[in-house]
Amino acid sequence: MQTKFQLIHVFFKQTAYLDPGTGSLLIQLLLAGLLGIGVAIRIYWKKIKKLFGGKEKGEEYSDPTEIEDEEDEF
Amino acid sequence: MYHNITGSFRDPSGFLFTKDGILYRQINQKYQENYDRLIESGLYERLSKAGAMISHEEVDLDAAPIPDIKYKIIKPKIVDFISYPYEWCFSQLKEASILTLAIARRALDYDMTLKDASAYNVQFKEGKAVFIDTLSFEIYQEGTPWIAYRQFCQHFLAPLSLMVYQDIKLNQLLRTNIDGIPLDLASKLLPLKTRLNFGILTHIHLHAKSQQRFADKALKGPIADAKVNKQAILGLIESLISTVKKLKVKKFDTEWNNYYQITNYSSESFEAKKDIIHSFLSVANPNSVWDLGANTGEFSRIAGERGIKTIAFDIDHGAVEKNYRHMKGNQEENILPLVMDLTNPSPSLGWHHSERNSLINRGPVDLALALALVHHLAIGNNVPLNSIAAFFSDLCEFLIIEFVPKIDSQVELLLSSREDIFPNYTINGFEVAFKNYFTIVEKKLVANSKRTLYLMKKIGS
């Protein structure tokens, strides 16, 4: 089985020209793990809100990668 | 004849060059798989159609600069004026950072990842931020972290937080730190209360601590076996988006951004001045204008509304911020407000002094506007008139310049607290100095004021 270390090692060796820094990687592992759970909760929360007819607040910044005729939320 | 663009040497995926004055990008074989995925997945089409990324066309050049490693040559759309993050106001840096994060997030939908998050990969074109580095995308490999996380924090989150919580002028730290503000420095400079902001606490303070703790250490033990799944990366990016979105500068009234309200211009002379500028612009007919000391862009708009690409430089961050918000509110495409101290303009920076260009190297411009500026340079900063004329002759072909005499109340104010050591600061001395470099094409007195406007043309142009 390929371990994380091997994966990171292989990945950086092959492609990375930026050095991401060990400390930056570790904090990212930690935060991403926690925040990923947050994303899952938010997705379900949005669904629940929609179910009850809740509306999104108007945003000052819309998603700049959005194509105009689409209605995705940022 | 090929000419390499030296700012693009770091990435082995390809490089920029010009041939016969046209900008191209060579894509190297090393990047082939990633480039093909960018195009075939539809990510490129999506981003360029949304106006988030610069579009390009693939071209057949007879010979590439380094043919043995070449995969393709592309010709990207041109950005009229390359600006740098240390020249942007707060809202520009914020817009650029949201663009970068939105692209990073969108790329994941297409199984790609944004491999760098440099603020220099964003430029302003036709009134909005646009991503310019076509080679920043790589095929996403499940389990791998977001490699540009640190760079994003250094280039965007650190300066934005410092501007909000400490001082709006702190984006100037980007000038001395070409790869963004080191997080330990940002963490030290940020006030204690930012530790109560979850985003700043984690992405800057704890991030800096982690860097310090693990400096020069290799990954080992159970943590090295952990994988980051895509949803976790998405969580990280969303957290950054929400942190950046919440950063707001509320109070930015500074010395200059109320200038027009407090100055003693009569509305009649203000309108007269505008009419003269209109008529001078008709004579010179420039394609590009730099308004030097533009304040909130009142006069830059005269050029902008005529369809001329206009950069509105001002030393005052608040004035530039106000100008930018005005420009965004009215969806003006021809005005680009930037922060610039003319007494110490942006230098050439980085490796070999050639990664970032100085202001002069990004010129010359067809026409420069120097309105209510000369007295600040000559009296406020002790620059001899001859030297001011020489500087302008390096910047532009045509010059619209206003002479403000000593009897004007604004100059009286400048001289009120100091000895008058400027015997040559007269209209005659001004003309003599400028005639060394320019021909005076037209000269008009501004009605109801003591000021004179000149249209000049550089000698030999």
pLDDT tens figures, B311-325: 999 999 999 999 999
Closest-CA residue of B relative to A25 is B145
Angle value at C-alpha B46, between B160 and B87, nearest 5 degrees? 25
- Which residues in chain A have their CB less than 8 angstroms from residue B99's CB? 64
pLDDT at A8: 45
- Candidates B15, B28, B126, B219: best to mutate against A (most CBs of A within 10 A) is B219
| B216 or B111, which is more confident | B111
Chain B segment 184-203 residues within 8 A of A by beta carbon are 202-203
Mean pLDDT over B264-282 rounds to 89
CA–CA separation, B108 and B43 (whole Å): 10
CA distance A54 to chain B (A): 20
| A30 or B345, which is more confident | B345
- Which residues in chain B have their CB less than 8 angstroms from residue A18's CB? 115-116, 147-148, 151
CA–CA separation, B178 and B169 (whole Å): 16
For the packed helices B230-246 and A22-51, what is the interaxial angle rounded to 10 degrees? 80
Q: What percent of chain B has pLDDT over 90?
A: 80
Neighbours of A32 (CB within 10 A): 26
Q: Between A8, A39, A67, which is nearest B144 by CB?
A: A8
B215 touches chain A (CB under 8 A): yes
Contact: B52, A65; criterion CB under 8 Å: yes
Neighbours of B63 (CB within 10 A): 10
Is pLDDT at B176 greater than 80 in this prediction?
yes
Q: What digits encode the pLDDT tens for the residues B47-75?
A: 999 999 999 999 988 778 888 899 999 99
Contact: A32, B220; criterion CB under 8 Å: no
B2-11, B42-51, B408-417: range with lowest mean pLDDT = B2-11
B115 touches chain A (CB under 8 A): yes
B145 touches chain A (CB under 8 A): yes
Residue B440: φ, ψ to 5° = -80, 115
pLDDT at A53: 74
What's the number of CA atoms in the CB half-sphere (13 Å) around residue B303?
30
Is pLDDT at B183 greater than 50 in this prediction?
yes
Q: Rounded mean pLDDT of chain B?
A: 93
Is pLDDT at B426 greater than 90 in this prediction?
yes
Coil, strand or helix at B60: coil
Q: What digits encode the pLDDT tens for the residues B87-97?
A: 999 999 999 99
Q: What digits encode the pLDDT tens for the residues B122-138?
A: 999 999 999 999 999 99
Closest-CA residue of B relative to A69 is B50
| B110 or A50, which is more confident | B110
B240 touches chain A (CB under 8 A): no
CA–CA separation, A42 and A73 (whole Å): 12
Write the CA distances from B314 to B100, B256, B286, B317, B344, integer angstroms: 26, 9, 21, 7, 12
pLDDT band for position A22 (cuts 50, 70, 90): confident
Q: What digits encode the pLDDT tens for the residues B223-241?
A: 666 788 999 999 999 999 9
Contacting residues for B448 by C-beta, under 8 A, at least 6 apart:
B266, B268, B269, B272
Whole-prediction pTM? 0.91
Q: ipTM of this predicted complex?
A: 0.81
Report which of B117, B237, B242, B46 is spatially closest to residue A66, judged by C-alpha positions.
B46
Coil, strand or helix at B70: strand
- Which residues in chain A have their CB less than 8 angstroms from residue B141's CB? 7, 11
